[in-house]
Amino acid sequence: MTESPQKTLYIGSFIHSTSLTTLDHCANGVIGVDESGKIAFILRDASNETIPEDWESAKVIRQEGEGFFFPGFVDTHIHASQYPNAGVFGKSTLLDWLNTYTFPLESSFTDLKIASKIYNRVVARTISHGTTTACYYATIHVPATNLLSTICHSQGQRAFVGRVCMDSALSPDFYRDESAAASLQHTKDCITHIQSINPDYALITPIITPRFAPSCSVESMLSLGALHAETGIPVQTHISENLAECELVKAMFPTYKSYADVYHSTGLLTSKTILAHAIHLTPEERSLIKETDAKISHCPGSNTALTSGTAKIRDLLNDGLSIGLGTDVSGGCTPSILNQAREAVYVSRHVAMAPGQIEAKLSVAEALYLATRGGAKVVGLEGSIGGFEVGMDWDAQLVRFGQVGDTEGLGSESDGLVEIFGNESWEDKVAKWLYTGDDRNTHAVWVKGRLVHHREGWRA
């Protein structure tokens, strides 16, 4: 599946975001992707424009029937290690959820057999849902975290892989870094491993991962902040997911101005920082995040499931913040970013139900922007992924639908649930995909021009 890319012409229908509110549809175009996996040229009209002469012997992949090529999704927040708990959370909220479900599972990753089974599965599954780039939290274990990096590399997914740092006494005895120095050293060990398989971080990038302030000593955060400053390696953490958590941070860090200030003061809040959740931010924190150009990962499904709250995405967009989507497995139940784009719309409806909040509603185009271009910006790759532009990498998925026939019965099961009756505009089809589509509609997935997944029966 992951052989090197060859010069390829993608022919057919293409849809991608050109702004937060605008999807662009090219009904019959050609995109030429070179041997390095980059888009070399785009023709908007395959019938009347001629492909460059030196592309005449290129491989051809046609989008046929109902569907389109779409940029690959970016999952800006997912705990790979928690995947077996997806859907298992009862009526818990963040802090009891961590102790009841999460820490016991994560602590089992001392066993590389367990880690291998879970990591292989979650990476394969996210790819099959069209996720071409994922920001993973692993666990505290160096060998298992290195295995996750290796698995992403081997399956061909673009990934940011973070070894989780948690040295605070708040973490359970059975699952905690022994010291701030250990948090730092084990982080470095995981960076070294990624450099060994992937020297230029072309596919896999390490990411410094203090779990969240309550799990970390100030000493640990300071040393990880220094490592960030020294290496430029990005940072991911959580912020303001749950009100009890916010109170806890206030109590644990009384000398800091705010939760965001804890990260800022320890050197962890910069333009290369991804903050997950960001539900209960104060206006001052929003200003600080704007000033530092830190990024937001919106995790609507998880926020609903764990009763964490509703992130006010319209307000954050109006502030000019950069926002992408995160599945937050296993606070979130599904590894599908398409599903999270749908949840983002639904959560925005709940926000809009409050008096005077009607503008909060996200549109189909906006949700899909967050899933692609938005996520690309959050991970610092807006120049190379998230859309179809000359010079960008071919990180893409082929979306395909069946058509409702005139005969009885459902036709082929593998067509999935999106129902095309024949009168739909292309905007209607995109809306139907967002609201009723699933992995059955993602027929093929490419990362940097390499085919990393295809449905059974699909042939390039």
Q: Which residues of the chain form contacts with a copy of itself (CB under 8 A)? A: 83-84, 86-91, 113, 117-118, 120-121, 124-125, 128, 155, 304-305, 307, 309-310, 333-334, 346, 349-350, 352-353, 358, 361, 363, 404, 406, 408-410, 413-414, 417-419, 421, 423-424, 428, 431-436, 438-440, 455-456
| Helical ranges in 296-392 per DSSP H | 300-305, 313-318, 337-352, 364-369, 375-378
Residue closer to a copy of itself, measured from CB, 404 or 460: 404
Find the shortest distance in angstroms from Cβ 84 to a copy of itself.
4
Find the shortest distance in angstroms from Cβ 366 to a copy of itself.
10
Single-letter residue type at 133: T
Torsional sign, CA 117, 122, 128, 131: negative
Find the shortest distance in angstroms from Cβ 276 to a copy of itself.
18
Residue closer to a copy of itself, measured from CB, 132 or 155: 155
Residue closer to a copy of itself, measured from CB, 200 or 408: 408
Find the shortest distance in angstroms from Cβ 372 to a copy of itself.
19
Beta strands in 294-449 (DSSP E): 295-298, 322-325, 396-401, 442-447
Find the shortest distance in angstroms from Cβ 119 to a copy of itself.
10
Residue closer to a copy of itself, measured from CB, 172 or 411: 411
Residues 6+ apart with CB under 8 A from 91: none
Residue closer to a copy of itself, measured from CB, 56 or 413: 413
**Residue 431: which H helix or E strand, with range?**
helix 426-436
Residue closer to a copy of itself, measured from CB, 227 or 351: 351
Q: What gap in Å lies between CA 375 and CA 126, rounded to an integer? A: 15
Find the shortest distance in angstroms from Cβ 304 to a copy of itself.
5
Cα distances from 262 to residues 214, 218, 250, 294, 403, in angstroms, run 10, 8, 10, 14, 53
Q: What gap in Å lies between CA 337 and CA 35, rounded to an integer? A: 28
Residue closer to a copy of itself, measured from CB, 3 or 456: 456
Q: What gap in Å lies between CA 72 and CA 445, rounded to an integer? A: 7
Torsional sign, CA 109, 113, 114, 118: positive
Q: What gap in Å lies between CA 442 and CA 453, rounded to an integer? A: 9
Find the shortest distance in angstroms from Cβ 415 to a copy of itself.
12
